[in-house]
């Protein structure tokens, strides 16, 4: 039930408002009661004093008994009961009750001059004020009593109003709070409704940002997350499309070759030729799959480097030697130089694949008669490998993309011997997983230079 923020906010709001209202009402009621009661007391004492001073004149004239009756007749009115005592003897009174009340309160005859006493009769809800009049060592007491009914009725009325008004105000506050909370939370509802519609299929959709407040920022953060997800999904989709496209050709060749061979009886020579085509294409597929697997492993952080002690110059020299026949076949001169004893901690197989990929590219994209030169040297604590060729070069627009997976410059794509476009991705992976970097400088028609920097001091 309390899972709704709107409801919780409303309840908190009503609770806070209710406590505030309760505190305020209690304060107002108690101070009102106090003020009314003290005003009532003051008026009562004043009446008692007026009566006492009126009576005083009769006593002065040595006529207290008649004076008491006269005083009461003159000054008492409807709702005020008066009694005048000499000592504890009642000289005159408006009724018996006030005499009894005054005597019961034990103030009659015990008050010093200038004092006054106030007492309440809870049974009859009456308040009594007593004032002494002392003449010639005789103490007279003037007692005045008045019903407090009007006062208590008034207080009860106010209390009732507050009691009824409080729940009403609380309900109104809760309703107001409910609407306010609803209004403040409306953007959240909109955001979640919009977000609910976004799935892997429409990741390009974005949340509408209408405000610049906290919710606006939340939507912006969510949109940024969507953009990143969209980007990764797109890369993944492209990768899958490219991968299946790359594998489709060799698969079709393998399948076609097998079909043709099996369609009728062939000579041993023909079978051998077919099998060698099938072997070459399977090899190509295996290479593509291996490259893809390595790249996928690197993406998911699962790639583990087998670091071992090795000499970079040995790796480079071995690769150049193995690429020499290919260069000769292509009519490209390959020469290399390597600084000796460049010891390094790294994955030999990966470093070999990196060098071979660079060499093959250089040979592959350099026309017959051109040259490829490889150099390895130490520079600022790094082993620097450069592979330069005098080949076709790379158009500036493609230079930033050649390290992307499956990317091939448009002309290269049409070449019959064009690769899968994973070679440089592996070069980049190898350089970066050894803490290094690869860069390219190229001029179309003049040649390209690939430079790999590998920090020698690896942690």
Q: Which residues bind Mg ion (CB under 5 A)?
A: 361, 419, 423
Closest residue to Mg ion: CB criterion? 423
**Torsion of the alpha carbons at 55, 60, 63 and 64, rounded to the nearest 10:** 40
Which whole-number Å values give the CA distances from 221 to 191, 206, 225, 227, 411, in the listed order?
12, 11, 6, 10, 41
For Mg ion, the closer of residues 76 and 425 by Cβ is 425
- Window of 28-36, 84-92, 256-264, 357-365 that interacts with ligand ATP by CB under 6 A: 357-365
* R_g over Cα of the chain: 54
Q: Which of 418, 433, 441, 455 binds ligand ATP (CB under 6 A)?
A: 418
Partner interacting with residue 362 (select from Mg ion, ligand ATP, none; CB below 5-8 Å by kind): ligand ATP
Furthest CA-CA distance within the chain: 165
Q: Which of 422, 430, 454, 456 binds ligand ATP (CB under 6 A)?
A: 422
Residue 374 engages ligand ATP in binding (rule: CB under 6 A): no
Partner interacting with residue 448 (select from ligand ATP, Mg ion, none; CB below 5-8 Å by kind): ligand ATP
- How far, in Å, CA of 107 to CA of 85, rounded? 11
Which whole-number Å values give the CA distances from 233 to 200, 226, 248, 294, in the listed order?
8, 10, 22, 19
Nearest to 392 by CA among 362, 422, 421: 362
Residue 409 engages ligand ATP in binding (rule: CB under 6 A): yes
Report whether 456 contacts 383 (CB < 8 A).
Answer: yes
For β-strands 333-338 and 371-379, DSSP reports them as: parallel
For ligand ATP, the closer of residues 103 and 356 by Cβ is 356
Q: Which of 67, 370, 391, 436 binds ligand ATP (CB under 6 A)?
A: 391
Residue 10 engages ligand ATP in binding (rule: CB under 6 A): no
CA 393 to mean position of chain CA atoms? 50
Residue 412 engages ligand ATP in binding (rule: CB under 6 A): yes
Q: Which of 126, 242, 294, 389 binds ligand ATP (CB under 6 A)?
A: 389
Q: Which of 177, 383, 419, 436 binds ligand ATP (CB under 6 A)?
A: 419
Buried-exposed string 159-188: b where 16+ CB fall within 10 A, e elsewhere: eeebeeeeeeebeebbeebbeebeeeeebe
CA 253 to mean position of chain CA atoms? 55
Q: Which of 117, 145, 424, 430 binds ligand ATP (CB under 6 A)?
A: 424
Partner interacting with residue 391 (select from ligand ATP, Mg ion, none; CB below 5-8 Å by kind): ligand ATP
Question: Which residues contact ligand ATP (rule: CB under 6 A)?
Answer: 357, 361-362, 365, 389, 391-394, 402, 407-409, 412, 418-425, 448
């Amino acid at each position: 039930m309390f899972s709704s923020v709107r409801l919780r906010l409303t309840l908190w709001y009503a609770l806070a408002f209710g406590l505030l209202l309760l505190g305020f009402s209690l304060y107002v009621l108690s101070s009102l009661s106090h003020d009314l009661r003290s005003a009532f007391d003051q008026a009562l004492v004043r009446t008692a004093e007026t009566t006492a001073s009126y009576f005083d004149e009769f006593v002065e004239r040595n006529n207290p008994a008649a004076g008491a009756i006269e005083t009461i007749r003159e000054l008492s009115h409807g709702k005020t009961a008066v009694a005048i005592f000499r000592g504890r003897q009642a000289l005159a009174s408006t009724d018996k009750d006030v005499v009894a009340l005054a005597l019961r309160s034990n103030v009659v005859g015990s008050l010093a001059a200038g004092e006054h006493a106030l007492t309440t009769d809870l049974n009859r809800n009456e308040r009594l004020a007593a004032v002494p009049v002392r003449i010639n060592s005789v103490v007279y007491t003037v007692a005045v009593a008045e019903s407090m009914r009007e006062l208590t009725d008034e207080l009860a009325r106010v209390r009732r109003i507050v009691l009824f008004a409080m729940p009403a105000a609380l309900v109104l506050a809760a309703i107001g709070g409910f609407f306010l909370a609803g209004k403040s939370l409306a953007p959240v509802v909109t955001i979640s409704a919009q977000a609910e519609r976004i799935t892997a299929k429409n990741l390009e959709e974005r949340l509408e940002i209408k405000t610049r407040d906290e919710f606006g920022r939340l939507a912006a953060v969510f949109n940024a997350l969507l953009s990143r997800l969209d980007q990764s999904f797109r890369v993944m989709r492209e990768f899958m499309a490219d991968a299946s496209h790359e594998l489709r050709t060799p698969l079709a060749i393998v399948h076609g070759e097998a079909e043709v061979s099996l369609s009728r009886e062939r000579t041993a020579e023909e079978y051998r030729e077919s099998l060698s085509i099938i072997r070459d294409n399977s090899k190509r597929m295996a290479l593509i799959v291996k490259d893809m697997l390595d790249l996928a492993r690197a993406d998911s952080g699962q790639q583990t480097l087998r670091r071992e002690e090795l000499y970079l110059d040995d790796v480079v020299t071995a690769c150049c030697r193995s690429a020499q026949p290919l260069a000769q076949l292509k009519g490209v001169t390959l020469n290399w130089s390597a600084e000796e004893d460049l010891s390094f901690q790294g994955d030999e197989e990966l470093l070999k694949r990196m060098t071979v990929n660079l060499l093959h590219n250089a040979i592959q994209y350099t026309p017959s008669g051109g040259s490829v030169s490889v150099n390895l040297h130490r520079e600022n604590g790094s082993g620097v490998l450069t592979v330069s060729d005098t080949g076709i070069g790379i158009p500036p627009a493609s230079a930033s993309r050649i390290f992307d997976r499956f990317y091939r410059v448009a002309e290269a794509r049409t070449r019959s011997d064009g690769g899968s476009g994973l070679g440089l991705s592996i070069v980049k992976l190898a350089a970066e997983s050894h803490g290094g970097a690869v860069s390219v400088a190229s001029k179309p028609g003049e040649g390209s230079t690939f430079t790999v920097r590998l920090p020698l001091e690896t942690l």
